[in-house]
């Protein structure tokens, strides 16, 4: 008899382990104070469960470690490069693949060529580095996600979708000023929410009708394709790789952080069809990253990524990946903790505004919650709210659309009991939410302030 069991099991067993170090609340209080109350400034050995990011923090597979042994470090034309290029083109058949050391290097190259003063670059929601690279070129970064994407509690299967009317209007009004439209799959800053295939098709149609290029920010493409497979009518019988190829066929290029879905500890690329644009980008690449057949990467990294790409689209893995993220989110919901719904792909986003209504936006409720999670249970998470997005290019400070704290789940790294522990810690902190106080920022750098800001707790 073919029975169905509901326990989500990790579709792998453990082959090599890393120790975790237990700490006391007193040790953690001292550590966070020394870090200026910024979790980015902690030493990771003082963190028990590190949910700061899913970027570069995943566990590589046996086959990736084996592939590393095939790394060929020839400066030009290495076989590792050709394996990497073939693996990228198998899923994303763009004419040119330009390897970079990580995603923001691809962004930097693309926007230094296409951006500049007077240019406008929309996205569903720009990730922080994407926005910063657009703005560093002198261009304006706009977020055009659908209205549901700004409401943490509303249920919508594809909350990452582009607002097509706003895009159409923007391209009409700013004729000639928009060199490229970006689409982030999944929409990280908006809660790890997917974009539907229908919305990608419609965005592509609008861009091309206006003669504007569409580029994907595709870090979490496999998770997005899984949501399309699960939620979009007519997609349930397709292979994940086939959905990914269709998504790629609708775009003119992509930027990629291979530290996410492709299971890299480092890596990225820029891929595109336009020959002249590719030549301009390669010229910047050679100045800043390296020769076009390795970019910012070692041959062994290229091998690990080629293997990782084939693992990223396997259905057993994706079912577990998305199911285990939902497990964390649903357990928190059941405990009465407000989280962004539906649960996203790589992370669960706590709604700090709903949990801490007594802390005003510019006293950083998400920052207060992130510090409390660390001190209470050694769990490190990241604020995605007014700390990350509050400072405007004109120097003013405004409240971000949402005050979130992201629990990002490294791939294939933590077990269900680690996650059960996280549920306990978050629930305990939520139970004492009234006692949390806001923060005052006492130092901030010019850009990307969340990485190095320092704070003082308010009385
Ligand atoms: N785009 C998106 C949607 C991202 O999430 C990231 C990185 C990047 C671009 C930049 O890539 O880090 O390789 O330079 N996100 C990480 C995070 C850092 O924690 O979400 P990178």
Q: Residue 302: helix, strand or coil by DSSP?
A: helix
With 90 as the cut, is the pLDDT of residue 434 above it?
yes
62-312: CATH topology is 3.40.640
Atom of ligand 1 nearest to the CA of 346: 20
pLDDT of 4 over the 90 cut: no
- What confidence category does residue 109 fall into, taking pLDDT thresholds of 50, 70 and 90? very high
Taking the CA atoms of residue 376, residue 328, residue 409 and residue 436 in that order, the dihedral angle to the nearest 10 degrees is -30
- Classified as helix, coil or strand, 64 is helix
pLDDT for position 189: 85
Q: Given ligand 1 and candidates 50, 102, 103, which is best to mutate, with the most ligand atoms within 8 Å of its CB? A: 103
Which of 99, 143, 188 to mutate to test ligand 1, by most ligand atoms within 8 A of the CB atom? 188
In 24-174, which ranges are continuous DSSP H helix? 25-34, 62-68, 79-91, 103-114, 128-136, 164-173
- Cα distances from 237 to residues 42, 84, 112, 134, in angstroms, run 45, 28, 41, 38
427 CA distance to ligand 1 middle (Å): 28
Q: How confident is the model at residue 1 (pLDDT cuts 50, 70, 90)?
A: low
Looking from the CA of residue 186, the nearest atom of ligand 1 is 3
- Per domain, the residue ranges of the chain are 25-54+314-457, 62-312
pLDDT score recorded for residue 459: 83
Average pLDDT (271-289) is 97
Q: What is the mean pLDDT of residues 304-321?
A: 97
In the CATH scheme, what is the code of domain 25-54+314-457? 3.90.1150.10
pLDDT, tens digit, 9 for 90 and up, residues 32-90: 999 999 999 999 999 999 999 999 999 999 999 999 999 999 999 999 999 999 999 99
Give 217 Cα–ligand 1 centroid separation in angstroms. Answer: 9
pLDDT at 53: 97
List, chain by chain if needed, residues with CB within 6 Å of any ligand 1 atom: 53, 55, 102-104, 127, 129-130, 184, 188, 217, 219, 257, 259, 268, 408
Q: What pLDDT sits at residue 155?
A: 93
pLDDT of 6 over the 90 cut: no
**pLDDT reading at 433 higher than 90:** yes
- Kindly state the greatest CA–CA separation across the chain: 66
pLDDT tens for 381-421 read: 999 999 998 988 888 999 998 999 999 999 999 999 999 99
């Amino acid at each position: 008899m073919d029975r169905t069991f509901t326990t989500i099991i990790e579709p792998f067993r453990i082959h090599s382990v890393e120790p975790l170090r237990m700490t006391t609340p007193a040790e953690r209080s001292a550590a966070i104070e020394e870090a200026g109350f910024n979790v980015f400034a902690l030493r990771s050995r003082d963190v028990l469960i590190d949910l700061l990011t899913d970027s570069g923090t995943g566990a590589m597979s046996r086959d990736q470690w084996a592939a590393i042994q095939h790394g060929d470090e020839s400066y030009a034309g290495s076989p590792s490069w050709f394996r990497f290029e073939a693996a990228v083109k198998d899923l994303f058949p763009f004419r040119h693949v330009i390897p970079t050391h990580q995603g923001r290097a691809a962004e930097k190259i693309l926007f230094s060529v296409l951006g500049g003063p007077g240019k406008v670059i929309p996205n569903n929601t720009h990730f922080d580095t994407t926005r910063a690279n657009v703005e560093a070129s002198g261009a304006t970064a706009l977020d055009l996600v659908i209205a549901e994407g700004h409401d943490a509690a509303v249920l919508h299967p594809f909350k990452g979708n582009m607002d097509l009317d706003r895009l159409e209007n923007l391209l009409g009004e700013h004729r000639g000023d928009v060199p490229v439209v970006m689409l982030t799959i999944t929409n990280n800053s908006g809660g790890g929410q997917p974009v539907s295939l229908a919305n990608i098709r419609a965005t592509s149609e609008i861009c091309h009708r206006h003669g504007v290029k569409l580029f994907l920010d595709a870090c979490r493409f496999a998770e997005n394709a899984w949501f399309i497979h699960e939620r979009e009518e007519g997609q349930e019988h397709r292979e994940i790789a086939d959905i990914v190829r269709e998504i790629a066929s609708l775009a003119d290029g992509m930027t990629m952080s291979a530290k996410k879905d492709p299971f890299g500890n480092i890596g990225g690329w820029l891929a595109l069809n336009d020959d002249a644009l590719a030549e301009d980008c390669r010229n910047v690449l050679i100045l800043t990253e390296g020769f076009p057949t390795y970019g910012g990467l070692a041959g062994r990294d290229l091998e690990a990524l080629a293997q990782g790409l084939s693992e990223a689209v396997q259905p057993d893995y994706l079912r577990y990946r998305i199911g285990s993220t939902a497990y964390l989110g649903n357990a928190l919901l059941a405990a009465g903790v407000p989280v962004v719904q539906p649960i996203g792909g790589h992370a669960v986003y706590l709604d700090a505004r709903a949990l801490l209504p007594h802390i005003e936006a510019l006293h950083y409720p998400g920052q207060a919650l992130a510090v409390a999670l660390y001190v209470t249970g050694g769990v490190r998470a990241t604020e995605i709210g007014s700390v990350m997005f509050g400072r405007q290019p004109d120097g003013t400070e405004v409240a971000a659309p949402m005050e979130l704290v992201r629990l990002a789940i490294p791939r294939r790294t933590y077990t269900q009991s680690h996650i059960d522990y996280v549920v306990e810690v978050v629930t305990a902190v939520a139970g004492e939410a009234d006692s949390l106080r806001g923060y005052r920022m006492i130092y901030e750098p010019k850009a990307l302030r969340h990485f190095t800001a320092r704070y003082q707790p308010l009385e």
